[in-house]
Amino acid sequence: MHGGPGLGPVFERARYPDAGHVHWWQQPLAKPCAARPYLDLLEASLVEFRRVAAEAGQPLTVMASSFGAHLAVHLARQAPELVKDIVLLGPTYNPEDAGLRFARRAFRVHTDHPHAAKLAVALAMYEDDPGRPRFWDVFGALSLLPDVTELYFGPNGGAEAARSFAELIRQPGAFDGPTSVATSDDFSAQDHTPQASPFTGPVSVLFGSYDPMIDADKDRDLWAQVFPQAAFFKVDTGHFPLLELTLEECLAPV
């Protein structure tokens, strides 16, 4: 379950072209005028998961990046018998908070840029009047800054991943803005009070030491309420461990 919403698995497929044992799911786009696009995405993920598990004939490892962690939680809640284990990579429990952390980080990095003042104003207006309209104003201002996606990655080995990400995200199907907005807004309209999952098998949660979107201490407490059995790991990456580490290092962190 890759990140997003609105991102495709083009990044993972490019990094792991020989990983034939991995099913990189291409999440469906939000339908125009869909009433509940996030709930539609949850249902689509469950249908796909049941299909792939039936083909495999056994429980599956569920690996999820960033926002995709919420899809993993849904699968574990609706079909725990089909889940072998779960690996969460840079999971964002509250994507709005995570996005604002990212924007503040970008402002600190680009304080001297001519458009930095616009981001500062947008962040201040959000603080005065929090909500989705102001949140998207922040991201509109953020888009005026250069090389923002580089901030997703760590300083040790993340340079190549950052270059690849910047190139691939321009490809058709890599990112769909309307899906991102619609799904994110619908997600934010839901109640996300942490509730313990019925899945009691192994869960690993990896936080990148240089992740600009995660407050590891706060987020750890939230995810521990969902998966009390979870083992937490700090890895030497930014927000996307799967794009900086090997697949094996993500599956078996130390």
79-90 pLDDT, tens per residue?
A: 999 999 999 999
- pLDDT (0 to 100) of residue 2: 86
- Of all residues in the chain, what percent carry a pLDDT higher than 70? 100
Average pLDDT value for residue range 103-129: 98
Average pLDDT value for residue range 235-244: 97
164-185 pLDDT, tens per residue?
A: 999 999 998 899 999 999 999 9
**What's the number of CA atoms in the CB half-sphere (13 Å) around residue 14?**
18
- pLDDT (0 to 100) of residue 187: 97
CA dist., res. 252 & res. 93, Å (int): 22
Band of the pLDDT at 158, cuts 50, 70, 90?
confident
24-41 pLDDT, tens per residue?
A: 999 999 999 899 999 999
Dmax over CA atoms of the chain, in Å, equals 56
* pLDDT higher than threshold 90 for residue 98: yes
- pLDDT (0 to 100) of residue 55: 97
- pLDDT (0 to 100) of residue 185: 97
- pLDDT (0 to 100) of residue 157: 78
Query: How big is the CA angle at 101 (ends 204 and 171), to the nearest 5 degrees?
Result: 75
* pLDDT higher than threshold 90 for residue 156: no
CA dist., res. 98 & res. 8, Å (int): 20
For the sheet with 203-208, list strands across it: 60-65, 83-89, 203-208, 231-235
- Counted residue by residue, the chain has a size of 254
Q: Which domains does the chain have, with CATH numbers?
A: 10-95+151-251 (3.40.50.1820), 98-150 (no CATH)
- pLDDT (0 to 100) of residue 165: 96
Band of the pLDDT at 202, cuts 50, 70, 90?
very high
Tokens of 75: 């699968």
Mean of pLDDT over the chain: 96
